Amino acid sequence: MKSKSLVLISGGMDSLLITALANERGDDLHALFFDYGQKTNRKERSSFDKICDHYEISFDKRKVLSLKELKAIGGSSLTDDNINVDVELENKEIPNSYVPFRNTIFLSFAASVAETMGVDNLIIGAVLEDAPGYPDCRPEYYHALNSLFTVASKSKKLKVETPIIDLKKSEILEKCFFLNAPLELSWSCYQSEMKPCMACDSCLLRKKAFNQINKQDPLLL
C-alpha cells in the first residue's frame, strides 16, 4: 500500500525536489499551497499548479489555504509592501524576509489538513543551509515539532519529514536534474512575477547553485 504524503509546495526548487523525491519513492501524493499575501503569490501559485500537473496530483488531492493574516501582521519584506527585500546573504542575523513563525503556522494548518485527508507524512523543503537566518529551518525545530505532533495528533503517527535539510543548494539542483524534475516550472524570486529579479537573496542563491554545477537556469533562457 502506498504511503500517503502531504507535500508543502511553494513553487521553489526546494519544494520541487521534495515532490520529486516523494514521487520517486512511490508515495500517494497530496499537495498544499499557502497564500499568505506574499509579493509573488500569483507566480508561486502558478508554479504550484504546474508542478502538481507534472506529477499528476489530482485536483481533489490539492489544497490551497489563504493565510492573509500574515500580511496583516506584517514584519517581513515578503508580505509588507513598505519593506524592501534586502540582499543579506553574508548577514548571519535573521533577514527581513523572515516571516515570523511562518513554518510553525504552516505546519499547524498542514497537520489539520493531513488529519482530514488521512495522511501521516508531512513533507517540507526545509534546508539547514538557510538556518543562520531562519530559525525554523533547523533540525532541532523539527524534532521538537514532531514531539508535539505525536502528542497532539489523532493518529499519533503524524510526522514532519525534512528529506533535503542537509543538502546544499547545488546538491538540490543536482538531484533535481538526476530525477528530471521540471526546474522550468519552479519559481524562486521574492520580488518579481514577470522574470527573476536576480537581485534578491533567493535569486542570488539560485544563480550561485546553477553556476556551481555548470548548468543553465531554464528560467533565464
Over 70: is that where the pLDDT of 132 sits? no
Q: Rounded to two decimals, what is the model's pTM?
A: 0.93
Cell of 131: 538556518
The CA dihedral of 174, 141, 139, 48, to the nearest 10 degrees, is: -10
Q: Give pLDDT tens digits for 101-127.
A: 889 999 999 999 999 999 989 999 999
Q: Give pLDDT tens digits for 18-54.
A: 999 999 999 999 999 999 889 899 999 999 999 999 9
Strands 121-123 and 28-35: unpaired
CA 90 to chain CA centroid, nearest Å: 22
pLDDT at 55: 98
Cell of 116: 482530514
Q: Which fold has domain 4-220?
A: Rossmann fold (3.40.50)
Whether the CB-CB separation of 149 and 111 falls below 8 Å is answered with yes
SS3 66: strand
Q: Give pLDDT tens digits for 69-106.
A: 888 888 888 787 777 766 656 666 777 777 888 899 99
CA pair distance 95, 89, nearest whole angstrom: 9
CA 59 to chain CA centroid, nearest Å: 19
Q: Where are the domains of the chain?
A: 4-220
Question: What phi and psi values does residue 161 have, to the nearest 5 degrees?
Answer: -100, 140
Mean pLDDT of 149-173: 94
